[in-house]
Amino acid sequence: MAKSSSLAQKAILDVVDNQIRDLNPPATKETFHRLVSEGVGQAEARRLIGCLVASEIFKPTSTRDRFKTADGCPPACPGESHVSCY
C-alpha cells in the first residue's frame, strides 16, 4: 500500500474512533456494537464504518457538487461579501 493511502486509511479510522468515543453521531457507536455482536471483528467493523465515512468525504467530489455553506449558498470569494442565493 502506498504511503499516502496508508495515511488516508489511518486518518479515516481516527475519524471512526472519534465518532465512537464522542457519540457523534450516535449511530456510529450503535452500528459498531451491532456489527461486533453479530460476529464481525472489531477491526473489520471499524474498517466497514470507515468505508462509509470515506464515501461521505468523497461524495461531493464524485458528484461534482459545489461546496455550499450551512444556509445552502455557495461561499463568497475571498474579499467579497456573502451574496444571497435566494
Tens of pLDDT, residue by residue over 23-70, are 999 999 999 999 999 999 999 999 999 999 998 887 765 555 555 555
**Alpha carbon distance 2, 25 (integer Å):** 30
17 pLDDT above the threshold of 50? yes
83 pLDDT above the threshold of 50? no
Q: Hey, CA dihedral for 50, 56, 61, 66, is it positive or negative?
A: negative
Question: What dihedral angle (degrees, nearest 10) is formed by the CA atoms of 9, 11, 14, 16?
Answer: -60
Q: What is the pTM assigned to this prediction?
A: 0.67
